[in-house]
């Protein structure tokens, strides 16, 4: 066949295929556009209304408002046809059901709006912020969610403010009954007054284990964990949500190509574990000792220059975030044991002073008390051990009853960890913390010379 004829036949074939395609596309277009935009939106509105009412026990959403700096908050919703919604959440200790109103509205798309106050609004209150960086922004949450359809029975939304995906899954009766267990998971992660102050994140890629110092802000529910490898600046960050059995994190923790999102709590080891395949896992657990041991304690040792540290009631050291719950409780215990009108005003440590080594307790309403101590080094544990010498220079008297419980956290055979912190408390003086090796007692001081 001549080239001229080949070209002619190709053109005929092309036009035939084009005509067939045009016919098909025209048919599809007629199917898509057989409704006006208003009719399509109204149909979608009805679809969402029906869907919200279709689940017997309502819907559950773990709402990560912004997982670059905030964690997740579980909300349960039970919608009614009369525009009422019953809601509960684990945002705070109030997990009771609250009734409010909602509406399904039309805009550029269909959305569900919680029109009167309920727990979801706590995430959008700009005056309710968990960190200084979020001042005036709150928890970056929404109370209006744009509807984008359904997937495997779930309702898909995007938040109006940050356009983040929010997925409503069908709730069960057990979800409502178990919501309070989220608060137990929170306590297990945050720790109580009797729990160690330090936490470790261990990541196992199936071949080796990497360790991180697990840092967690319970207000923002956000974790930033710094690598413990020498010279490493790696930080693993993730938002944390609570579940009845442990934790859920976002973004997912990526380990050896696997995505770990669910951590299960083990009561015996007091740890949370996310398990993959092929030996891949991640564990969050407590540590009795600081994860980064330093030589900061050496300035307290005999032969060093005089060192003076002070904690002061009513001053900036009182507001330091490094003061532990146990320390605050024990300090309050001193005041509770003192006569009316007498209160403790400071706890000071003097090392290598001309008078010796002593803890100096001052009060409003009574004379100060000196607890003289001996100082020895634990070079392996990188801490100092303070042992009793005398009270006010008298070796025959015992501990004052009102100081006994407080003082035992500093003066005992297990010793004290000393750390120079990397922050200041208003003034330029260095900040040092003293952490008991035998309890969760940690006191924050200025170094005053």
DSSP for 98-122?
Answer: EEEEEEEEESSSEEEEE-S--GGGG
Cα separation of 23 and 383, whole Å? 83
Is the pLDDT at 16 greater than 80, yes or no? no
* Digit-coded pLDDT (tens) for 372-411: 999 999 999 999 999 999 999 999 999 999 999 999 999 9
Of the pLDDT bands very low, low, confident and very high (cuts 50, 70, 90), residue 28 is very low
Q: Average the pLDDT over 217-244 and give the result.
A: 97
- CA dihedral 34→35→36→40, nearest 10 degrees, is -140
The burial of 207, by beta-carbon neighbours within 10 Å (0-12 exposed, 13-18 middle, 19 or more buried), is given as exposed
Q: How confident is the model at residue 218, as a pLDDT?
A: 94
Q: How confident is the model at residue 108, as a pLDDT?
A: 87
Is the pLDDT at 371 greater than 70, yes or no? yes
Q: Identify the CA nearest to 61 among candidates 211, 248, 324, 194.
A: 248
Is the pLDDT at 151 greater than 60, yes or no? yes
* Digit-coded pLDDT (tens) for 71-113: 999 999 999 999 999 999 999 999 999 999 999 999 989 999 9
pTM of the entire predicted model: 0.83
112, 157 contact by CB (below 8 A): yes
* Digit-coded pLDDT (tens) for 154-167: 999 999 989 999 99
Residue ranges and CATH numbers for the domains of the chain are: 42-171 (2.40.128), 183-287 (3.30.700), 296-447 (no CATH)
> Percent of the chain having pLDDT more than 70?
93
* Digit-coded pLDDT (tens) for 155-203: 999 999 899 999 999 999 999 999 999 999 999 999 999 999 999 999 9
Q: How confident is the model at residue 51, as a pLDDT?
A: 98
Cα separation of 330 and 206, whole Å? 44
Q: How confident is the model at residue 33, as a pLDDT?
A: 54
Q: How confident is the model at residue 37, as a pLDDT?
A: 82
Show Cβ contacts of residue 66 under 8 Å, excluding neighbours closer than 6 positions. 140, 162, 164, 239
Q: How confident is the model at residue 158, as a pLDDT?
A: 97
Q: Identify the CA nearest to 358 among candidates 431, 416, 403, 308.
A: 308
What integer best gives the mean pLDDT of the chain? 93
* Digit-coded pLDDT (tens) for 29-85: 444 457 788 888 899 999 999 999 999 999 999 999 999 999 999 999 999 999 999
Is the pLDDT at 114 greater than 90, yes or no? yes
* Digit-coded pLDDT (tens) for 313-364: 999 999 999 999 999 999 999 999 999 999 999 999 999 999 999 999 999 9
Of the pLDDT bands very low, low, confident and very high (cuts 50, 70, 90), residue 147 is very high
Cα separation of 17 and 196, whole Å? 74
Which helix (H) or strand (E) is 400 found in, with range? none
């Amino acid at each position: 066949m001549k080239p001229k004829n080949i070209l002619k036949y190709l053109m005929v074939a092309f036009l035939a295929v084009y005509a067939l395609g045009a016919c098909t596309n025209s048919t599809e277009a007629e199917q898509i556009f057989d409704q006006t935009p208003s009719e399509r939106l109204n149909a979608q509105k009805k679809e969402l209304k029906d869907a919200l009412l279709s689940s017997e026990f309502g819907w559950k959403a773990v709402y990560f408002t912004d997982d670059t700096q905030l964690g997740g908050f579980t909300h349960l919703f039970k919608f009614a046809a009369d525009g009422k919604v019953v809601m509960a959440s684990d945002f705070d200790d109030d997990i009771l059901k609250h009734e409010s109103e909602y509406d399904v509205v039309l805009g550029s798309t269909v959305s569900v709006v919680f029109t009167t106050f309920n727990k979801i609004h706590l995430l959008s209150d700009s005056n309710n912020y968990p960190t200084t960086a979020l001042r005036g922004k709150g928890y970056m949450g929404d109370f209006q969610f744009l509807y984008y359809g359904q997937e495997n029975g779930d309702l898909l939304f995007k938040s109006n403010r940050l356009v983040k995906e929010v997925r409503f899954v069908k709730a069960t009766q057990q979800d409502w009954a178990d919501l309070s267990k989220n608060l137990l998971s929170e306590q297990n992660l945050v720790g109580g007054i009797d729990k160690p102050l330090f936490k470790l994140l261990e990541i196992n890629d199936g071949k080796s284990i990497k360790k991180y110092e697990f840092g967690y802000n319970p207000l923002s529910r956000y974790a930033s964990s710094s690598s413990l490898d020498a010279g490493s600046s790696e930080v693993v960050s993730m938002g944390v949500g609570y579940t009845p059995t442990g934790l859920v994190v976002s973004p997912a923790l990526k380990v050896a190509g696997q995505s770990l999102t669910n951590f299960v709590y083990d009561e015996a080891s007091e740890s949370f574990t996310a398990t993959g395949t092929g030996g891949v896992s991640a564990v969050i657990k407590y540590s009795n000792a600081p994860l980064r041991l330093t030589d900061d304690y050496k300035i307290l040792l005999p032969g060093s220059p005089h060192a003076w540290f002070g904690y002061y009631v009513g001053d900036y050291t009182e507001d330091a975030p490094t003061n532990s719950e146990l320390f605050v409780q024990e300090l309050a215990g001193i005041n509770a044991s003192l006569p009316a009108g007498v209160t403790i005003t400071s706890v000071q440590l003097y090392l290598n002073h001309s008078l010796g080594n002593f803890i100096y307790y001052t009060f409003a309403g009574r004379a100060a008390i000196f607890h003289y101590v001996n100082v020895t080094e634990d070079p392996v544990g990188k801490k100092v051990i303070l042992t009793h010498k005398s009270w006010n220079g008298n070796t025959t008297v015992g501990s004052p009853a009102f100081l006994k419980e407080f003082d035992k956290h500093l003066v005992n055979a297990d010793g004290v960890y000393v750390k120079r912190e990397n922050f200041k408390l208003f003034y330029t003086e260095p900040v040092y913390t003293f952490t008991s090796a035998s309890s969760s007692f940690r006191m924050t001081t200025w170094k005053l010379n």
